Structure 1
Amino acid sequence: MKKSLISLTLIFVVQIILLPIIHCRIIFPMDAALVDQTCKQTPNFDLCETLLRSDPRSLNAEDAKGLASIMVDIVQAKATKSMDKINDLLSKSPVKNQALFTSCIDNYNTIIDDDIPQASEAFSNDDNITAEDRLKDVTFEVDLCDEQFSGLSNPLKDVNKDVHDAASIAAAIADKLP
């Protein structure tokens, strides 16, 4: 009787320890090495890892192309946030500064309406070169917006940097795809 009680206790303890590990692997099949391996090939490993790990879809990404597509969505979200800020600042700015914000709106319209949809479509069509090109154009458009404030205090500096850095990471991932 004592032996069977010990055996049952041992089985119970093993199940308590192993079941969560097995269960976690089934529910969250992400290979952590995929994010690490992919992010090591980008200009900003830490930011890449932070951005990808913050998106739950990364848990199910099968390859770097899947992570690149997620990064495009992250760029989209950051660009939309930037556009919201620009519109808010435009509505509050004196007339003399409105041209600066209007120019940035044009840049962000190109990003949101052209570059990001084209990058996303290019990934869908396995055209990684075009995807990379469109993502590099995002960084170019953001830089143009920043240049509007040359010599002035740039109220868009932080949001522009967020978009620029995310797009640079996405472009770097696209560049490494076969």
Structure 2
Amino acid sequence: MARAATMSLPMSLILLAAMFSTLPAAHADAGFISYICNKTKNATMCVAVLRDDPESAKASTVRDLANIALQITINTTDHNADVIDDLAKKSQGTSQGHALTVCHKAYFGASIDLNIFGRYCFDGGDYAETSKILSSAKGASDKCENAFKGIGKMPPVTAMDIMMTERCSVAADLVDLLVDK
């Protein structure tokens, strides 16, 4: 019985040390994200976007954060395209359905560009081209908003369009930090 109590004290100390040793690291990661985001055009938005993804806490380089931001953008684009496609199918034959089809085509095109060309260029180190692809993909939200302006209706997907613009902007800003100038 005495041996079990002796073993539990060292084990408890190891567990406590392990728990407390991670606290400064988590704080340092938040500091790293803030430090890098302060180099972008909109530091507050950059921090907000990256903090939504738990992988950001593991990042240790600008490239890591840019990669995470690119993936967040890809995921957002794919999600938005799926949701808009469902809405368009439910509104077929109406002016809203037509506008949603325009939105879906824009998001679907952006999804292909980001998933194939954006990922390929980023992974290959062509950051200037990746930034161009992100900037182009950001246009999907504008196309969608304009489709609804054309029919004089408020878009039901404005929140998704705003999110798309923000995600693309953050990813492009971080990728731009990698471009040799």
TM-score category by the smaller chain? 0.7 to 0.9
Distance 1:29 1:57, change over 3 A: farther
Q: Which residue number corresponds to residue 122 of structure 1?
A: 121
- Please give the alpha-carbon distance, in whole angstroms, between the structure 1 residues aligned to 2:115 and 2:41: 20
Deviations 1:72-130 (A, max 9, x none): 11112211221122122112215132221111111111111123432222121111101
- Please give the alpha-carbon distance, in whole angstroms, between the structure 1 residues aligned to 2:28 and 2:127: 23
- Please give the alpha-carbon distance, in whole angstroms, between the structure 2 residues aligned to 1:73 and 1:31: 19
Distance 1:148 1:18, change over 3 A: same
**TM-score, L = length of structure 2:** 0.79
- Please give the alpha-carbon distance, in whole angstroms, between the structure 1 residues aligned to 2:14 and 2:88: 60
- The alpha carbon displacement at 1:30 in A equals 5.6
Q: Which residue number corresponds to residue 36 of structure 2?
A: 38
Aligned length: 167
- Please give the alpha-carbon distance, in whole angstroms, between the structure 2 residues aligned to 1:130 and 1:83: 23
8 Å Cα contact 1:65-1:123 kept in structure 2 = no
**TM-score, L = length of structure 1:** 0.80
Identity rate, percent = 24
8 Å Cα contact 2:78-2:108 kept in structure 1 = no
Secondary structure of the residue aligned to 1:47 is helix
Q: Which residue number corresponds to residue 143 of structure 2?
A: 144
Q: Which residue number corresponds to residue 3 of structure 1?
A: none
Secondary structure of the residue aligned to 2:148 is coil
- Please give the alpha-carbon distance, in whole angstroms, between the structure 2 residues aligned to 1:103 and 1:170: 24
Q: Which residue number corresponds to residue 74 of structure 1?
A: 72
- Please give the alpha-carbon distance, in whole angstroms, between the structure 2 residues aligned to 1:164 and 1:85: 17
